[in-house]
Amino acid sequence: MPELPDVETFRRYVNSTSLHKTINNVKVKSAKVLDGTSAKNLSKTLQGEKFTNTRRHGKHLFLQISNGQWLMMHFGMTGSLHYFKDMDDDPKHDRLLISFENGYHLAYDCQRLLGKISLTEDIDSFITDKNLGDDALAISWDSFKGSLKKKRGSIKSALMDQKTLAGVGNIYVDEILFQVGIHPKTAVNSINEAYLEEVFESMRDVLSKAIDVQADPSEFPPSFMTPHRRSDQQCPNGDEKLKTVKISGRTTYFCPKHQKKLKK
DNA sequence: AGTACCACCTGACGGC
DNA sequence: TGCCGTCAGGTGGTAC
């Protein structure tokens, strides 16, 4: 689930469920997701505090703690958040369980353990340390253009590179390129400025439309390709079959009829 | 600075 | 039923 729209959805979920409530218990179920901190230290840091605010940068979510620090969550391929009261509703792969004094719990669930949780004093230095590019929904057209001009290789790899811009992953990059009708293997440096601006607009459009429906593909507009992302499925714009190709090791779906390497 | 692979992990699915 | 290869919305490291 966890690309920019999913993480933004988690952020709003935390806002509507978990702010301003005293934390009275913290259980680390798997220390493997912890990065640069220990279960003991994390518990000590959160115990008795509240979450006061949230921020998101790309695929990283930050929960502000009332002591001024930030709890960083990254969701890997399979991470998600669940707020519930009855422990019967505790998700199967919960790795961190935060309990509030109102009897509710916030669980960080992550089946494949590829996610990360850490503590940080300062979001800006976290972003600098990780070398992350600007957030894909916050970046200006000028910065986007500037960052992509330095890139070589395919447009797909460039958009997915978190150092270039943060938040776009394998699913949404395919959707963005499908919407502009550009072949994912197109060399970035062969795209002229006007067309690159269309890519930029498509990125903003796809990401915000996904956020509008809580990143639920079953609610995507009918013109979106993502819900057809299965082998042998047809393009939403016709009876053409979608095809797959590997780009930087990731399975890529595209429509051979509607996505061309060069714009006519 | 690219790509190509491997690794980290668990689990679902299809073929035999 | 069971075993096995393959694949999965991410990232980081390596070698070339």
The answer to whether the C-beta of A111 is closer than 7 A to strand B is: yes
Rounded, the Å distance between the CA of A130 and C1' of C13 is 15
CA of A251 to C1' of C7 (A): 10
Establish whether the CB of A57 is closer than 7 Å to any nucleic acid atom in strand C.
no
Distance CA A108, CA A98 (A): 8
Q: DSSP readout, A189-256?
A: GGS-HHHHHHHHHHHHHHHHHHHHTTT-GGGS-TT-SGGG-STTPBPTTSSPBPEEEEETTEEEEE-T
Q: Which nucleotide is nearest to A78 (CA to C1')?
A: C9
Quick: pLDDT tens for A91-138: 999 999 999 999 999 999 999 999 999 999 999 999 999 999 999 999
Name which residue leads in pLDDT, A238 or A100.
A100
Query: Is strand C within 7 Å of residue A207 (CB)?
Result: no
What's the full length of chain A, in residues?
Answer: 264
Quick check: A55 CB within 7 A of strand C?
Answer: no
Mean pLDDT value across residues A45-73: 98
A123 touches strand B (CB under 7 A): no
Does the model's pTM come out above 0.85? yes
pLDDT at residue A1 tops 70: no
Residue A263 pLDDT exceeds 60: no
Most distant CA pair in chain A, distance? 61
Model pLDDT for residues A143-199, shown as the tens digit of each residue: 999 999 999 999 999 999 999 999 999 999 999 999 999 999 999 999 999 999 999
Q: Which residue is nearest to nucleotide B5 (CA to C1')?
A: A249
- Residues 75-104 of chain A in contact with strand B via CB under 7 angstroms: 92-93
Among the listed residues A231, A50, A225, A249, the one whose alpha carbon sits nearest the alpha carbon of residue A157? A249
